[in-house]
Chain A
Amino acid sequence: MATATSSLNGHNAGQAATSRLAGVTRSPMVRLIVKRLLMAIPIMLGVSLLTFIVMTIIPGSGATALLGADATPEQIAALEAEMGLDQPAHVRYLAWLQDLATGDLGSSVVSGQTVTSILASRLPVTFELVGLAFLLSVLAAIPVAVLAARWPGGFMDRLSMVVSVTGLAVANYVLALLLVVVFAVVLGVLPAIGYIPLSESITGNLRTMILPVISIAFPLFCFYTRFLRSDLVEQMQSQDYVDTARAKGIGPWQVLIKHAFRNSSFGLITLVGLNLGTLIGATVIIEQIFGLPGLGQQLLQSISAQDAVVVQAAVLIFAFVAVMANLIVDLLYLILDPRIRYGSR
């Protein structure tokens, strides 16, 4: 029952479970969703275990970080006992898992806030940042790549090549600082740091988001443009369906956009899905530079305060988003490619 999608993913965990489910439903869409959700469970457990191990081997604990350098060993021991940190690591991990199963993510040892409320205030900022950066990079890359691929070797092609090769070498934090130098220090048209919530003012919110979004989106835009351009050119030059379409008398623009682009979009989607992890990593440093109160900034603070509970939750959310992104990529394959949809490949 190896479906085309499972060969695309390279490996088929949970196949036994899926073959049992195959009898229940014949829809490849439902089968895929169930299978990937089952696969996500061991991955998420692994991620949480790894986070836990790393947080445990960090010298000191939340208690030492909370009490500061002057604390006596007795004070530390007392606070650790109060926080439950004196228990062996595996007991704490199992207790954490048990709480997680009941929907209780615990609360921060530093601020005492529940993790749920921290996530509720931090997540929207990060989602807005990632979402806008994602949209901007993809929506800008598509027309530029299509224009470049329309006349390979032409002016647009060369220009987009130079821009994207250079852009790929620019670190996002360098780009962020250069943008701040230009737009905040020299021109003074945009704020250098700070955040205005969307609920307060839409234009104010966008003004504080524009530089961070560009810092994250530009390197991705370069990456997607280069990839899509070379894939489109390859499709146009070497694929039979392109010749067929041309022979039918379809214009070059239509062949490029309707035929070649549809095929090239598979590669682009895969790339975008894989890139989501990078996108999330980028929020940590970009939120720090621009003072955005998102999950990335919280994660950085919690790592240095050794606030293990918050770190656990944040990392788990990031990993979950990455796993879900890959699921969505596979679903998009189903929608775009009828051969997979009907399971006939």
Chain B
Amino acid sequence: MAAVDSAAEFEVLTTEAPAKSSRWAKWRRRLPILLPAGAVAIVVLACFVAPLVFPIPTPTGGDVLTSRLPVGSPDHPLGTDLNGNDILSRLLYGGRASLIVAVAVNLLGLFLGGTLGALSGYLSGKFDTVIMRLLDVLIAFPALVLTLAVAQALGPSQRNTILALSFFAIPAFARIARAATLRLNELPFMAAAQLSGTSGWRMLFRHIAPNIGPQLLSFMLLGMGIIIVTEGALSFLGLGIPRPAPSWGNMIFEASQTMSATPIQVVWPSMALLVTVLAFNLLGENLRSRWSSR
């Protein structure tokens, strides 16, 4: 009994307390979405705009004479690494690489995987069976291992990192889109649309896509976090963004090589990774619960 009571109390507290001032209530309800969205915006601005506005040293081609400067050095607020490159600059440019890769992979996943999954769920029959068998194979394959093999096959570069990670994202999106489409098939409006002679492509783009869109979109935000982490793993293992170009993953690797001397250098890219992934996760999660409660 007590469990339900305290749960009910919790509900009352969260829903009614802010009702005293309605403007405050509105903002407070939006807070779980606004806060992580703001954090994402700050990270994006810092990585893409800050280097254009502020005089920040280049992330590569540093001078060995100024290597391993401590935190708080003039001109190098976070110090410099083993090669004399400014760590703050590498952090921002590395974030660029991570974000570009994550956005590209997720868009590829969303469009290719989403279309494949929606088609598979909508057409069912043989097409569905073939696609599902293929996805079964890709899912039984440990994702990171597949990505590693593909990355090795293609060689390290930003474009190939995107391709390798897509191998991992497309089946995931396809499964989500298929499951959502199957649920949609049960609804009367789908039968109505079909009976009124709607063509297959129109069904897909006008009826299915808008309905599974929100779900795929919130999955995409969670996917941003996953891809940023996996890109980091690839770069950490030397199969992602090739050095000396910075990426959070290869910065973490470089810093780990000198960890006993300068442990603080592991912390910067790790924190950047943590904060960004956390922001994307929270945004995706909170948007999903907002949309599903409607």
| Interface positions of A (Cβ within 8 A of B) | 10-11, 13, 42-44, 46-47, 50-51, 54-55, 57-59, 149-154, 165-166, 168-171, 173-174, 177-178, 180-181, 185-186, 233, 236-237, 246, 252, 255-256, 277-278, 280-282, 284-285, 288-289, 299-300, 303-304, 311, 315, 318-319, 322-323
Chain B 264-281 residues near chain A, CB threshold 8 A: 266-267, 270, 273-274, 277-278, 281
* Chain A residues positioned under 8 Å from B274 (CB to CB): 166, 169-171, 174
Shortest 7 CB-CB contacts between residues of A and residues of B: A153-B10, A281-B144, A46-B137, A169-B278, A169-B277, A171-B229, A58-B153
Q: Which residue among A42, A186, A256, A300 has the maximum number of chain B CB atoms within 10 Å of its CB? A: A300
Contact between chains at A153 and B9 (CB < 8 Å): yes
Contact between chains at A233 and B7 (CB < 8 Å): yes
* Chain A residues positioned under 8 Å from B7 (CB to CB): 152-153, 233, 236-237
Which of B87-95, B99-107, B183-191, B255-263 is the interface stretch?
A: B255-263
Chain B residue with Cβ nearest A40:
B140
Contact between chains at A166 and B278 (CB < 8 Å): yes
Contact between chains at A237 and B4 (CB < 8 Å): yes
A151 partner, pick from B3, B132, B236, beta carbons under 8 A? B3
* Chain B residues positioned under 8 Å from A322 (CB to CB): 139-140, 142
How far is it, in angstroms, between the C-alpha of A150 and the C-alpha of B273 when the chains are bound? 33
Contact between chains at A177 and B259 (CB < 8 Å): yes
Q: How near does chain B come to A145, taking the closest CB pair, in angstroms?
A: 14
Q: How near does chain A come to B91, taking the closest CB pair, in angstroms?
A: 14
Range, interface on chain B: 35 or more
| Interface positions of B (Cβ within 8 A of A) | 1-4, 6-7, 9-10, 13-14, 129, 132-134, 136-146, 148-150, 152-153, 155, 225, 229, 232-233, 236-237, 252, 256, 259-260, 263, 266-267, 270, 273-274, 277-278, 281-282
Contact between chains at A178 and B270 (CB < 8 Å): yes
Given contacts A166-B278, A285-B237, A323-B140, A57 and B153 within 8 Å (CB-CB) = yes
Chain A residue with Cβ nearest B282:
A165
Q: Which residue among A151, A152, A166, A281 has the maximum number of chain B CB atoms within 10 Å of its CB? A: A281
Given contacts A11-B132, A54-B153, A315 and B141 within 8 Å (CB-CB) = yes
Q: How near does chain B come to A249, taking the closest CB pair, in angstroms?
A: 10
A174 partner, pick from B129, B134, B148, B270, beta carbons under 8 A? B270
